[in-house]
Amino acid sequence: MLLLPEWLVTMDPAAGTLREGAVLVEGPRIVYCGSREGVPELPPETRVLEFPARIVLPGLVNAHTHLPMTLLRGLADDLPLRTWLEERIVPAEARLMTPEAVGAGARLGIAELLLGGTTCCADGYFHEPVVLAAAAELGLRGVFAQGVLDFPAPGAPDPRTAFAALRDHLRTGAGGLQSPAVFAHSLYTCSPATLRRAKALAREFGRRFFIHVAETAWESDWCREHADGLSPVAALERQDLLDGDTVLVHAVHVSPADADLIAAHGCAVVINTESNLKLASGVAPVKAYLERGVCLALGTDGAASNNDLDLFGEMATTARMQKLALGDPAAVSAEVVLRLATVGGAQALGLAATTGALRAGYEADLIAVRTDVPHACPLYDPVSHLVYAASASDVDLVLVAGQVRVQRGTLVGVPLGELMARVQALTQTCDIRASRAEPKARLGSTRPVGL
Ligand SMILES: [Zn+2]
């Protein structure tokens, strides 16, 4: 098909942003992207799609989420992270998260991602083969990381069994648009031995290793107390966990020396501004990372701490929050934030050779955003609108690997009503609010010292 949008934002430095551009898609790939004058001769059966009031850009990349946690959306708001996690989320997960529930929550999350213009994600959860299978069914590209931690978790009531599930996932999970990875929850839920073993498996299979790190001031204090005064990032380095395949999630409470370490080891960092704001965790030092050339991506985190999976909202909040935190309206521009949500995400997930930008030879992961709406009028600069004015509901068309997944703002071939009814039924028959009365996990309280 040949797409002829009014605006084409390629995110390819060589092509930039074009008025009246053209994208030619054959099968799963882009074969031409550029001006209309340069379009090659078209095969006779080519479908030509005129988009007079649309911006076409690469599909967005959500580099950190927990898709099944859509089932916990709105269950526990307005609480600090430890109370939220220990007293509400962990007990609710123990009660609710069967493989069937994980599959339903993942499908709901994937539907939300696709409808909001996200074509690729990095997920981290338990029963991750179920999440990966849901992504394969609905056509979302992504990296699906099986979780390990030293506490009972969904699918691994005995933590000693977690590694068998992880190895299985790494061995069998690759194929198509989805690949497996490793998700070690955090320093305060995983012993040093668990962390090293998880990273060793990631290295053995050549996969990404994700970990929440330096999310809160409490975590930093806890780490210094248990790791000879080291910061969380320095503690990871001491365990030989930092390299170009490690993706650090949050990395909010970091010193300049920590940022230097992250840059020196070539780790990627995923910024989750809305989750950090809602849990009052802090503001990640985006500018410090950019100055050091750290690969940066954007994530929404799970729906239990955001409470949506909307990367348009995440872009807008990130740009505005950085300006406020630094007292500088020029601190982080719209162009930079859009780069984080596209090219940066693809780089963080190891997919930048074929995704994250619109370019001949790349995968046809692209979206069209409506501009025939009041909040996009007038239009001087499409990148400004994408970051500061557009919303997920403006997404009109979504292609993943050349397949149409959203058309005229509606999911193609997915019975969304049935899916939502299933989720409603699951969450109502299992009264997860009652889980408040159950014994609480005390994260960080039982770990061996000596990180
Ligand atoms: Zn997270």
Quote the tokens at residue 49: 């799609």
Task: Summarize the confidence of residues 271-277 as an average pLDDT.
Answer: 97
What average pLDDT score do residues 185-210 get?
96
Ligand 1 centroid–CA 272 distance in Å is 8
Check whether 11 has a pLDDT greater than 60.
yes
At residue 29, the 3 state secondary structure works out as: strand
Q: pLDDT band at 442, cuts 50/70/90?
A: low
User: What is the mean predicted confidence (pLDDT) over 11-26?
Assistant: 97
Task: Please give the distance, rounded to the nearest whole angstrom, from the Cα atom of residue 17 to the centre of ligand 1.
Answer: 33
At residue 121, what are phi and psi to the nearest 5 degrees? Answer: -140, 165
DSSP code at position 316 = H
Cα 180 to middle of ligand 1, angstroms: 17
Quick one: which H or E segment has residue 238? helix 232-238
- What is the CA(446)–ligand 1 centre distance, in A? 21
Q: Report how far ligand 1's centroid is from the alpha carbon of 379 (Å).
A: 35
Ligand 1 center to 212 CA (angstroms)? 6
What residues does the ion ligand 1 have nearby, CB within 5 Å? 301
pTM exceeds 0.85: yes
Per-residue model confidence as pLDDT tens digits over 294-315: 999 999 999 998 999 999 999 9
pLDDT at 258: 98
Expressed in angstroms and rounded, the spacing between residue 186 Cα and the centre of ligand 1 is: 10
Residue scoring higher pLDDT (256 or 447): 256
pLDDT of residue 444: 60
Q: Is the pLDDT of residue 101 over 90?
A: yes
Dist. CA 302 → ligand 1 center (Å) = 6
8-state DSSP, 40: P
pLDDT at residue 447 in the model: 46
- Residue 384 one-letter amino acid: S
> How many whole angstroms from 66 Cα to the centroid of ligand 1?
6
Torsion of CA 286, 399, 103, 89, to 10 degrees: 20
Instruction: Evaluate if residue 431 carries a pLDDT over 80.
Output: no
Rounded average pLDDT over 216-229: 95
Q: What is the pLDDT of residues 116-156, one digit of tens each?
A: 999 999 999 999 999 999 999 999 999 999 999 998 888 87
Is the pLDDT at 446 greater than 50, yes or no? Answer: no
